[in-house]
Amino acid sequence: MQNSLLEIRELTKKYSLSSGFFNPQERIIRAVDNIDLTIYKGETLGLVGESGCGKSTLARLITRLEKPSSGYLMFKGEDILSYNKEGLKLYRRRVQIIFQDTYSSLNPRKSAVSAIKEPLTIHGIGDKTSRTQTALEIMSKVGLKKEQAGRYPHEFSGGQRQRIGIARALVLNPELIIADEPVSSLDVSIQAQILNLLRDLKKDFNLTYLFVSHDLNVIRYISDRVAVMYLGKIVELALNHNIYSRPLHPYTRMLLSAVPVCDPRRKREIISVKGEAGTEHDGGCPFQNRCSYKAEICEKVEPSLKKYDEQSFCACHRAGSI
């Protein structure tokens, strides 16, 4: 029986946008729309979807960099939305984030060792000497040399800067790490190095990951389970091999159809892509305007995330029949 580390229930984040100059009209955008999700201790949960679907917003909500409009976030049975300033500070020792942009996430005026030990200083852990020693040890763990400790971000490559970001996330010995597109800005060969590093660190530090990416090949390599997100909603959730061998949702099939394959002899389902993801829908299934399998019920009733077998969930009226 798996132990749940983080439970997300009915989580919603709304943004208010105004459009028009002479007659401005307010529009509500649901970046995260009534999401239910559980992250189990020791797993890597991959979160995949197109740009703008709400993946990064969900990551920021979990780390409390943003406050949700409604819903519940339970970490090890505790409601983190009820935390005061001190409680939130302690929570952030247990949950860390690795950002996508390897340069803007680092202070250009701080050396590598200063950036890595800064969380220890903020949380008042150890003295100056022990903080520096801990930072140097973590640098070694992520594949950086002690001779590089005094260098500044502009003196490192993109892959090395991401290693600094990983070290900074690790230095507080967290339980959960949110990796928000951590390899999307890196060369393919460097991506492989960082992914292998993250897998090794997971074992060494007994970590749990929420790994956010738009790249299905990356998600396939690193994840135990995969959650597919579309317009702020989880539309499919399943074990890694189930997602890639028998996807249930038409959107998942569309994403997999767009992934390049190296072997030209390999047969795969080709699904035509209709238009782009919108920002809102009037009713029914949010994917209906792009779906090749749309039925009459799809225009009237919005599907909920239902269980289809022991480890697969899908929000589609026609799941299992297409």
pLDDT range class, residue 259, cuts 50, 70, 90: confident
Residue 90 has pLDDT above 90, yes or no: yes
What distance in Å separates the CA atoms of residue 21 and residue 85, rounded to the nearest whole number? 39
Token pair for 123? 């949380």
Residue 305 has pLDDT above 80, yes or no: yes
pLDDT range class, residue 4, cuts 50, 70, 90: very high
Report pLDDT for 171: 95
221-243 pLDDT, tens digit per residue, is 999 999 999 999 999 999 999 99
**Counting every residue, how long is the chain?**
322
pLDDT range class, residue 282, cuts 50, 70, 90: low
Residue 266 has pLDDT above 80, yes or no: no
What distance in Å separates the CA atoms of residue 228 and residue 219, rounded to the nearest whole number? 11
Residue 273 has pLDDT above 80, yes or no: no
Residue with tokens 């047969």, as numbered in its chain: 267
Residue with tokens 């230095």, as numbered in its chain: 171
Token pair for 232? 């702020």
| Residue 203 burial by Cβ neighbours in a 10 Å radius (0-12, 13-18, 19+) | exposed
24-51 pLDDT, tens digit per residue, is 777 778 889 999 999 999 999 999 998 8
118-173 pLDDT, tens digit per residue, is 999 999 999 999 999 999 999 999 999 999 999 999 999 999 999 999 999 999 99
pLDDT range class, residue 19, cuts 50, 70, 90: low
Residue 279 has pLDDT above 60, yes or no: no
Q: Are 308 and 248 in contact (CB under 8 A)?
A: yes
Token pair for 138? 């973590």
